[in-house]
């Protein structure tokens, strides 16, 4: 290996996940969604998220579907989640609202944007557990 170059990591950090989102994730999702919709609609979406089954999607696809930029590694919340990953702590699954392809509406990460970004830095193909709800029509 040429001088000054680091040998590539042969072992990537693995992200560990809780089996279900943490209780506080649902009110956090509701707080975010309340900036976009009425309280009645938000309550319906949060209820749908609570009952939704866990699905798995790749970090890169979640960011693309939500049309969100990757936050920098030194963002306080991303850095905190990266430390948790390095320490082997389990992260909470993501809460998302499905977009509308025909109308050009992106998906929404209702809770977990920073966790998605931290997971992406670990490996863009990280398989992230999430709960996905449809937006009311």
Question: Tell me: the pLDDT tens digits for 109-118?
Answer: 999 999 999 9
Give the pLDDT confidence score for residue 34 in this predicted structure: 97
Answer yes or no: is pLDDT of 68 > 70: yes
Give the pLDDT confidence score for residue 5 in this predicted structure: 40
**End-to-end alpha carbon distance in the chain:** 57
Q: Is-above-0.85 flag for pTM? A: yes
Answer yes or no: is pLDDT of 50 > 90: yes
Choose among 64, 76, 67, 58: nearest CA to 123: 58
In a domain, 94, yes or no: yes
In a domain, 4, yes or no: no
Cβ atoms of 82 and 121 within 8 Å: the answer is yes
Give the pLDDT confidence score for residue 2 in this predicted structure: 44
In a domain, 25, yes or no: yes
In a domain, 121, yes or no: yes
Distance from C-alpha of 131 to C-alpha of 11, rounded to nearest angstrom: 29
Q: What are the angstrom distances between the C-alpha of 60 and each of 24, 118, 121, 137? A: 25, 11, 10, 27
- CATH code of the domain containing 119: 3.90.1530
In a domain, 26, yes or no: yes
In a domain, 11, yes or no: no
Give the pLDDT confidence score for residue 135 in this predicted structure: 86
Number of compact structural domains in the chain: 1
In a domain, 10, yes or no: no
In a domain, 1, yes or no: no
> What is the pLDDT confidence band of residue 12, given thresholds at 50, 70 and 90?
low
Mean pLDDT of 120-136: 95
- How is residue 45 annotated by DSSP? H
* Domain span at 30: 16-133
Q: What are the angstrom distances between the C-alpha of 124 and each of 45, 66, 99, 120? A: 28, 15, 21, 4
Please give the torsion angle defined by the CA atoms of residues 16, 19, 23 and 29, in that order, rounded to the nearest 10 degrees: 70
């Amino acid at each position: 290996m040429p001088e000054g170059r680091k040998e590539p990591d042969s072992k990537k950090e693995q992200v560990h996940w809780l089996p279900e989102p943490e209780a506080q994730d649902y009110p956090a999702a509701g707080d975010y969604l309340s900036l976009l919709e009425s309280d009645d609609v938000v309550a319906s979406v949060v209820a749908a998220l609570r009952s939704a089954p866990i699905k798995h999607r790749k970090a890169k696809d979640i960011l693309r579907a939500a049309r969100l930029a990757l936050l920098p590694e030194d963002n306080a919340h991303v850095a905190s989640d990266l430390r948790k990953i390095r320490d082997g702590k389990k992260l909470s699954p993501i809460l998302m609202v499905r977009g509308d392809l025909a109308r050009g509406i992106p998906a929404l990460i209702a809770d977990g944007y920073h966790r998605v970004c931290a997971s992406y830095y670990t490996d863009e193909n990280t398989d992230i557990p999430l709960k996905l709800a449809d937006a009311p029509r």
